[in-house]
Every structure is written in structure tokens, then in C-alpha cells.
Structure 1
Amino acid sequence: MERVDLMPPPADDDSAHGDDPATAGLADAYAAAPLLNCLLREVARPVGREGGQRVYHLPGGDRLLRVRGTRRPAAPEVRTRDGWHRLDHAGLVELVADELRHRTGLSNHDLPAEMLDSRDAVAALLAARARTAPPADPYRRSEQSLLTGHTHHPAPKARGGGPAAGWLPWAPEAYAAFPVTLLGAREDTVVEEGDTSALDALGTAPPGYRLLPAHPWQLDLAAAELAAAFADGRLVHLGSAAPGTWPTAAVRTLYAPGHDVFLKFSLDVRITNDIRRLWRHDLLALRRTDTAVSAAFETFDGPPAWLGDRGYRTAGFAFEALAVLVRDGFGDRLLPGATPLLAAGLSEGFEGSPLERTTDPEGWWTAYLACAVPPVLWAFARHGVVLEAHLQNTLVAVDADGVPVQALYRDAEGVKLLPDVPREAGWERLVYCLVVNHLTEIAAALAERHAGFDPWPAVRRELARHDVPEIPALLASPTLPAKTNLLLRWTGADGADARYLPLPNPLREGT
């Protein structure tokens, strides 16, 4: 598989962005790759190759587009009367918006602004990284590595359109670490469910109050909503706690290594498809969902595979704005001597990644599949649990040689249960998350580093050894379901309303 490094566009494309040419060009390249992935998957039609580049037809505007590379397409050019014309990121956004207007008959002013915001966020992150050393801990380094982020989303790094100074101190991609803010919520206002005792270990609340940690950005965003509660004493400031806490790839979820606990907060910011608020209906469903997943993995014949969302605490007068969810840390769940790594980080690449140093791609990949696939299929087939097993919800632990020995999944909010959703819909979601979003990306990253390596026979063997009724049809199907994030966002569909289009299935023999 061809490997294409991210390269800046020509210098004369850079000046419009207002940052230095090197940063501007690299930011354009990082932001263009996932946007092009969306455009090529959801809209364009391949027509051939020219000069070693892939050429596509854009049917809406009846134009030709060509790009370099495959997994991370780069250097987009559009055909004009004068020949091929190179597009910077702003030009690509304009092209995509025009194409979608033709295709859908709809206008959308918000999404192009998010695409531009995503690109400018990358520029700010690159500048911040240039003056900050990457973290020494490989797990943290994997979580905070995602400059590209979601590989098939038009604006994966958008941060709500505000100035970078408002969000950069809390950005995982800038290697942020900061203490949580501690609030006291008056006891008669506190609402909680499940095991929230880990919160009380973070500090001490005064008499009549309960401890309620908050994300500093969360408090900035909700300042107007909470002003009255601070004024009348329902809330009090108690300083900060847990220095060294750092944000995971999810931005709003923090890991407190000193307490070995994850804390997930509400943020009124759109990140990828959704406003990242802890919605009341999701919190109220949390105990049922997490209990179902935990019960499934209690019977799983293998290492622990679930980081449970054990409970939440909030204040009734600001139920969603102040909610904090408590997630299991690693504790005794992690195999002795193993190092957890974020699967999305393996796909993107980071210093010290085992993908960069393995000399046995077949053995490494077989071990990876043996860790990542069985827990997901077990939960579905035996317990009707549909894990959202995509790259950002999967941690793969490796041994001292970098070989995968365990997979851990997280995020009860994204879990679906049968028969709340029909089995067919649950299976489609599982295949998209596990195979299309997850395994396809790791397979491509591995094949990119090892010329001639075919990762798909091992995937077929791993899937075929599981007694799940849907697997024979999956292995024989000509297509796989791929989520249409670009069209979903352009048409204003709900972020949870997945829509799929068929992709060629590499699992099928002979493909």
C-alpha cells in the first residue's frame, strides 16, 4: 500500500491563513486528509489514475478531482480549463460545499465554518506542540496523539469556533495536563446514581455540601447558567485537586493517574457529530447499560475487557451542565506488566508506537485480532450487547515487546442493547464500529509499513472461528456498511442517527 506523508501545499497558498507558512501548510494537510476521505467515500466516483495520482468524478458540479495517497489523501487538485489547479484547505472546503449543494439541494452555512475551524484548531495545536515536550508515559502519549483525529469526518478538530485561547489549555492534542476544579454543591441539590465514592477522595467539602468536581472549560462555558447558584450559595468554589490530571482523546474525559479514575464531564461544544453534553436521558440509562456490559464480561473467558461507568453525580438545578461521570481506572483490570495504548493512537502514529518497531506484522496482527475481536463478538452473541468498538473506545495493552495481550473497551453511553434495537441494526452498527472504523484503520496502518503484507486473511480466520450466526454472511458479503459523516452533518441529521453506504468488503475471498 502506498504511503504518503503529510506535505504542505505550495507557499503561495499559505498567506491567507495568517500563520507562518510551514505551520499553515501542515495544518492544511492534516485538515484536508479526513475531509477528502469523506468526499471520496460518500460523494466522488473513481475514474482512474493520472501521473500516479487517483482521479475522481464529482457528479454534482461535473468536475474532476485528483489526489495523492490512499489512507491519508493529500495534495487535492481540481481540473480547470487551464489544467490541474491545486487547492488549499479553504479552496477544498468551498469545493465540497458546492458539491454538496448540488447533490442535496440544501444549503448549510454551519458545516463549512466548522471545517475551517477544524483546520485553524490544527494550526493552533501544531504551534502549541512546537513549544511543549510530548508526555513520557506511552499511554498518555497515545491518547494525546490525534492531530488528524477521526479519519472520516469533515471537521474532526473543530472546537466550537471560539478563539484558541479559550480551549487550548484543555486540549489533549497540545499535551495538556491540569487539576480539576472542585465545587461544593449544597446537599439538598445533589443528584447521584451508582458508585460515586471516587469523587469524595478528591477533596473535602464543607458541612452541608457534597464534593462536585468540574472541568475548568465546562465552568467557563456554563458561567452564565451557574451565576445565580454561586450567588445564592447552592454552589461554592473549593479550589482545585488532582494535579497531573490530563485529558484523553475524548477531550471531555480526564484521567487522574494519582487516583486511577476517569472523569467524564459535560461540555457544550460540538466535537465531531455531537454536542458533548452529558444528556439527562443518557445518564438515566447509564446504570442499566453498564450493568448489562459488566454482566456480559463477567462470563467472558479472557482478560478483563470493560472499563465500567460506575455512576454519576450532579446538581439538580443544572443536571446536565454540572454532571460528572465516574469511570473505572485500570486497577486490577490491566494484565500485569502490560501497557495500555489507544487504538486510535496506533492508527495515527506516535513516538514509541509498537507499529513502528514490529518486524513480524503477521504475528503482531494475529495477536491484535485475538485481543480485540472476541470480547465484542461475545458480548453481542451471548448477551445482546452492542459495544461501540471504534478506535477511540478501544485500548489495546501490549507486553514489553510491544505485542498485544489484552483489549479494554469503554463508554457505556455508546452501547446499544438488544432488543432495544433490532438485531439486524445492532449487527450493522457492530460491523461498522469494529471492522470499518477500527480494524480497517489498524490494518491499513500496518500494511503501510510492511510492503506486500495482506492483513485480511488473518481477519477472516479470526472472525470465522466464532460461533455467531451473522459471520458467514459477513465474510461472503460484497460490501460493508460505512457511516456517512459528511452527508449526515450537511443535512443536519442527529449525530446518533447513523446512516450507512456500502463499501467494498476486503473480507470477501478474492477481493
Structure 2
Amino acid sequence: MDRVDLLPPPADAVAHRADAYAAAPLLNSLLREVAERLPEPGDRPVYRLPGGRLLRVRGERRPAEPEVRTAGGWRRVNHTELVKLVAEELTRHTGLSNHDLPAEMLDSRDAVAALLAARDRATAPGDPYLRSEQCLVTGHPHHPAPKARGGGPVAAWLPYAPEAHARFPLVLLGLREDAVVEEGDTAALDALGDAPPGYRLLPAHPWQLDLVSCAAAFEDGRLIRLGTTPFDVWPTAAIRTVYAPANDLFLKFSLDVRITNDIRRLWRHDLLKLRRTDEAVASAFAASPGGAVWLSDRGYRTAGFAFEELAVLVRDGLRDHVRPGATPLLAAALVEGFEGSPLDTLEDPAAWWEAYLRAVVPPVLAAFADHGVVLEAHLQNTLVAVTDDGMPVQALFRDAEGVKLLADVPRAQGWERLVYCLVVNHLWEIAAALAERRPGFEPWPAARRELARHDLPEIRALLTSPTLPGKTNLLLRWTGADGAAARYLPLPNPLAGA
């Protein structure tokens, strides 16, 4: 989130900051999805809510200090009051009640408070890549409860939180060979330790084991405990995906916890199509323009009796993929802000932005146009490698679970998803962060030029359409839609007027 410049006395500092961090994405969701902006004069945008109430905020990209209009003037609302207001307005707007989501909103705020307190005590990693993965205190900028952790006690999840600069060893299990289910290249798992005869190595996330019961399997010998890894892993922004620098390996686990829209389990249907999807993307990137890279989800291993609960996915590391001398950074971290961000020191925003667009846009469009691959190229699935002076030179994409193939979905549906992930979720946020840091800089003409270079039939409509698709995370959660569902509302298209 943007730096909060109104700090109360030290005793209340964490609570005040937590309110501000938690309010920003909730306000973004409310204002985007159900509010009407009014042409009111003044330096604070004013919005009409579905019930007729007026709400004004400070700021645009990360709205703050919400106030409601009363008979006596504008009255400030704190985070708890804001949650109540959102619940009332959504009930009016949808005709539906929802008791779970307001609790998640409050849980998200309390989680932020715990994260801020922990960050104040922790030492950030020296590696700028790891710092970028572990900086997302705000998280998804258009989600009502981006930091909710399932409502469990802080002590259950804080030791594994990337935002708290956590690092920890993995639990090593022995899985009896007759219970092993695997597909793809899982050899990296066998290198993590030694399993006794008749068993295969199965690493587990400590939080994962706290969330599922495998008592019967331990009792009858299908599972045995083999200790922990002799090295620590670092949780990345995805929480359930960890990086092992010593092995240059990413591992993705199942967590039976709702984080943003989904229960973060490795679902059977996704695992069973993993090899087909990953191979299609890898083939697309073999000819990718600009040296872009796909971090392959090589394979998975799990237990037949706990297929989803104990699954672990093996993903490529970084060293063999990042250009020599370049440093990978999480794209979402450029929006959030972190120590060492090139956005804090760049001298020429236009040159930096053009380089960023050249790195990120062509491989996504080429995968779609030439190979029928729809990347989920949102901020958290994209790494951008930069040179010592901060200039982008390469894009790296990840997460086969979110990829769609045009062989399986209508082209129009795939294109809409691509536009949302790449343009609305990704480029729009980077552009806004740049413009905020450099008042007067206009990022959209360069974005329009980059997109116009690509010969896709959909590009002309993208550049002339008055609207872009914006995902309705607040309404999706309020109405209890499936976590994988995507419903969009029209947002003004900044490309059309650029």
C-alpha cells in the first residue's frame, strides 16, 4: 500500500496502519463494483452508494480516510464501521445477506495488524527477489479481504507468512510406495532427503499438516515421519508456494484455507490436466519473443489416499532461466512498493515503461495468437528481471493451474480473461503506480503503441472499445459464487483515449 502519512502516537501505530492497509482494497472493491462517482468539486472523490448514501475518500489508487455524508457534514468511518457499511450496501444492492464475508473482512484486517507487528520485529531478506515476494501487505488491490487466513488463530499461520519474512524447514514424510501417485518429473523431491526401503520421499508444508488429519495413515505405516529438511525454504507471495534457494526449486502445496476467492487446495482436476497444460505452455515459450521464460510445473507427487490434501507440485527454479546479471522481481511488488524497487529510483519513467511493456506484452500475446494458450498473466504470476540500473529486460511467467487453452474454452472467453489479467489486473496497476510517483507522466500512449504492434484480430477492438472487463471480486464473494468463477463489469478503457 502507499505509505501512510498520518500516524497516531506509537501505541496505536500498528492498529492505525492496519486499518488503513485493510480499508484500501475494500474501498477499491466497493467503489469499482457498486458505486457511482459524482462530479463533485474538491480534492476528494465523492461516490453515491446503492442505498443513496454519499461516501468520499482521499486518493485514487489506494483510497483512504473514508467519510460518509451526514446531516451535520462529513463523518469519518473506521474499518469496523466500513465493513458494516459495505454489508448494508451489498444487501440492498443484491437482495442477499452474507454473514461470512464481513467476518473475513475483519479477519483480513486483524491479519494485517499481526503482519505489521511481525514485520517490525523481523529482518527482511537481503535478496531483492525474496524481498519482492514477501512485501505484499496490502495484497490484491481489488479484493475485500485479501489477507484473511481462514479465521484461524494467528499463531497457526504467522510462522509461515511471507509478509512476516518467514522462513522454515519443510516436514519430510516417507510415503509407502504402493500409495504413491505421481506424474511428470518429480526427481527433485527425492533429492531433499533419504527415504527408507519401500518408501518414497514426500515433503509437506508444516501448516498443511496442521490442517489435515492423516492419523490413520501414520498408524498403519502408509506414512512415516523422517524429520525436516536441513535447509529453510521461503514462502513466496502465493503463501503455499515456497522457494528453496539452496536447491533452486519451487514447491507448491495444498492448504485447506480460503485465501482471497479460493480454498487453496491442489485440486484433483487441475493436477490431472497439469502435464497437458504445462507442455502446451512450454511449447509456446520455446519460441517466445524477447527471451521470455515459462517456469514449468514439472510434475506432482501425492498419496492415493489423500490425493489433494498431501499433493506437492514441483516447479522450475530461477538460475537457469534468468538472464545473466539480471535480478527477477515480482510484478505485484512494484505496485505494492518494497526496499530496492526500481520505481523508487528510475530517472526516465517513459524509457522504463516502454522496456517493461516490451518484456511483458509480446510473449503473452504470442502464446495466445500462435499457440492458443491463455496465460493468467496477472501481477502475482509475473516476474520481471531488471538490470543493475533497474531496467526491465525479461519476463518470467508461472502457474499452470491458472492457464486456459483455446482448445477447451471459446476464443472470446479466453481473450476476455487475457485482457483482464494482463491489462486490467497487471498493466493498469503498474501504470497507476508509475503515474502516482511521477505526476504528469501519461503511461497509456506507450501501452497502446505496444499492443498495436501485434497482429491479432482482437487488438483493434481492444484499442477502441470504451470499456475493459473488471473482475467483481466483492460481488462474487458476496453472492457465494464458485471461487473459480469470473464475472466482469465494464471499466472505462484508458487505451481508447490514449
Q: Provide the C-alpha distance between the structure 1 equivalents of 2:6 and 2:17, rounded to a whole number of angstroms.
A: 5
Number of the residue aligned with 2:420: 432
1:94 maps onto 2:69 in alignment: no
1:97-496 superposed matches below 5 A: 97-222=87-212, 225-496=213-484
> For 2:266, what is the secondary structure of its paired residue?
coil
Measure how far apart 1:352 and its partner are.
0.7
Q: Provide the C-alpha distance between the structure 2 equivalents of 1:77 and 1:301, rounded to a whole number of angstroms.
A: 48
- Counterpart AA for 2:172: L
Q: Provide the C-alpha distance between the structure 1 equivalents of 2:447 and 2:274, rounded to a whole number of angstroms.
A: 32
> For 1:239, what is the secondary structure of its paired residue?
strand
Structure 1 506/171 Cα, relative in aligned 2: closer, same or farther at 3 Å? same
Q: Provide the C-alpha distance between the structure 2 equivalents of 1:4 and 1:181, rounded to a whole number of angstroms.
A: 37
Number of the residue aligned with 1:57: 48
Number of the residue aligned with 2:58: 68
Q: Provide the C-alpha distance between the structure 1 equivalents of 2:372 and 2:429, rounded to a whole number of angstroms.
A: 26
Number of the residue aligned with 1:6: 4
- Counterpart AA for 1:409: F
Number of the residue aligned with 1:21: 12
Measure how far apart 1:451 and its partner are.
1.4
- Counterpart AA for 2:16: G
Q: Provide the C-alpha distance between the structure 1 equivalents of 2:163 and 2:230, rounded to a whole number of angstroms.
A: 20
Deviations 1:130-156 (A, max 9, x none): 111111100000000000000000000
Q: Provide the C-alpha distance between the structure 2 equivalents of 1:50 and 1:450, rounded to a whole number of angstroms.
A: 24
Q: Provide the C-alpha distance between the structure 2 equivalents of 1:10 and 1:22, rounded to a whole number of angstroms.
A: 6
Number of aligned residues: 498
Q: What 5-or-longer segments of structure 1 have no aligned partner?
A: 12-18
Measure how far apart 1:9 and its partner are.
8.0
Measure how far apart 1:80 and its partner are.
1.5
Structure 1 465/156 Cα, relative in aligned 2: closer, same or farther at 3 Å? same
Q: Provide the C-alpha distance between the structure 2 equivalents of 1:193 and 1:4, rounded to a whole number of angstroms.
A: 43
Q: Provide the C-alpha distance between the structure 2 equivalents of 1:9 and 1:400, rounded to a whole number of angstroms.
A: 34
Structure 1 4/248 Cα, relative in aligned 2: closer, same or farther at 3 Å? closer
Number of the residue aligned with 2:35: 44
Deviations 1:25-70 (A, max 9, x none): 10000000000000010011011335421110012x2100000000
Q: Provide the C-alpha distance between the structure 1 equivalents of 2:91 and 2:453, rounded to a whole number of angstroms.
A: 46
**8 Å contact from structure 2 (residues 256, 265) kept in 1:** yes
- Counterpart AA for 2:264: R
> For 1:77, what is the secondary structure of its paired residue?
strand
Measure how far apart 1:495 and its partner are.
1.3
Q: What 5-or-longer segments of structure 2 have no aligned partner?
A: none
**8 Å contact from structure 2 (residues 183, 301) kept in 1:** yes
Structure 1 338/9 Cα, relative in aligned 2: closer, same or farther at 3 Å? closer
Q: Provide the C-alpha distance between the structure 2 equivalents of 1:237 and 1:476, rounded to a whole number of angstroms.
A: 59
Q: Provide the C-alpha distance between the structure 2 equivalents of 1:499 and 1:100, rounded to a whole number of angstroms.
A: 16
**8 Å contact from structure 1 (residues 7, 26) kept in 2:** no
Measure how far apart 1:106 and its partner are.
0.4
Measure how far apart 1:419 and its partner are.
2.6
Q: Provide the C-alpha distance between the structure 1 equivalents of 2:465 and 2:70, rounded to a whole number of angstroms.
A: 39
Number of the residue aligned with 1:502: 490
Deviations 1:299-339 (A, max 9, x none): 22331420000000000001011000000001321111110
Q: Provide the C-alpha distance between the structure 1 equivalents of 2:247 and 2:491, rounded to a whole number of angstroms.
A: 44
Deviations 1:96-122 (A, max 9, x none): 000000010101000000000000000
**8 Å contact from structure 1 (residues 9, 29) kept in 2:** no
Q: Provide the C-alpha distance between the structure 1 equivalents of 2:109 and 2:90, rounded to a whole number of angstroms.
A: 19
Measure how far apart 1:7 and its partner are.
4.6
**8 Å contact from structure 2 (residues 24, 62) kept in 1:** yes
How high is the TM-score relative to the length of structure 1? 0.96
Q: Provide the C-alpha distance between the structure 2 equivalents of 1:300 and 1:450, rounded to a whole number of angstroms.
A: 32
Q: Provide the C-alpha distance between the structure 1 equivalents of 2:85 and 2:223, rounded to a whole number of angstroms.
A: 49
Q: Provide the C-alpha distance between the structure 2 equivalents of 1:108 and 1:217, rounded to a whole number of angstroms.
A: 28
- Counterpart AA for 2:99: H
**8 Å contact from structure 1 (residues 8, 22) kept in 2:** no
Q: Provide the C-alpha distance between the structure 2 equivalents of 1:103 and 1:8, rounded to a whole number of angstroms.
A: 33
> For 1:358, what is the secondary structure of its paired residue?
coil
> For 1:53, what is the secondary structure of its paired residue?
coil
1:30 maps onto 2:18 in alignment: no
Q: Provide the C-alpha distance between the structure 1 equivalents of 2:106 and 2:7, rounded to a whole number of angstroms.
A: 16
**8 Å contact from structure 1 (residues 432, 480) kept in 2:** yes
- Counterpart AA for 1:32: A
Q: Provide the C-alpha distance between the structure 2 equivalents of 1:9 and 1:336, rounded to a whole number of angstroms.
A: 42
> For 1:49, what is the secondary structure of its paired residue?
coil
Number of the residue aligned with 1:16: none
Measure how far apart 1:491 and its partner are.
0.1
- Counterpart AA for 2:101: L
Measure how far apart 1:454 and its partner are.
0.2
**8 Å contact from structure 1 (residues 4, 69) kept in 2:** no
**8 Å contact from structure 1 (residues 294, 306) kept in 2:** yes
Structure 1 448/370 Cα, relative in aligned 2: closer, same or farther at 3 Å? same
For the aligned residue pairs, the C-alpha RMSD in angstroms reads 1.3
Q: Provide the C-alpha distance between the structure 1 equivalents of 2:340 and 2:247, rounded to a whole number of angstroms.
A: 26
Deviations 1:266-301 (A, max 9, x none): 000000000000000000010000000001111223
**8 Å contact from structure 1 (residues 57, 64) kept in 2:** yes
> For 1:249, what is the secondary structure of its paired residue?
coil
**8 Å contact from structure 1 (residues 270, 276) kept in 2:** yes
Measure how far apart 1:242 and its partner are.
4.8
